[in-house]
Amino acid sequence: MAKPPLSIMGLVRDKRLEAHILALLREPKTLEDLHLQLQPLHPGLRKATLFALLVRLRREGRVLFCEGRFLAGEEEGADV
């Protein structure tokens, strides 16, 4: 029997991190600002890992990037 690629705890951790990110991005934030605010909740989070997650969320349309800042995506499909 093959092992799943990620453990259940890993998936829960990822979803919790995504929820924190989207909550913080109600207001536009730079990568550095977001990383500083997430450090107390996720002490092992590296800036590169956070950036990779933001890129994935942007591809999914859940995060926008404009003028050097990230913002939670909108349903109307704002121009980026």
pLDDT digit string, tens, across residues 29-76: 999 999 999 999 889 999 999 999 999 999 999 999 999 999 998 644
pLDDT for position 10? 64
- Within 10 Å of residue 62's Cβ, how many Cβ atoms? 16
Which residues, 6+ apart, have CB-to-CB distance to 34 below 8 Å? 21, 24, 25, 50, 54, 70
* DSSP H or E segment with residue 70: strand 69-72
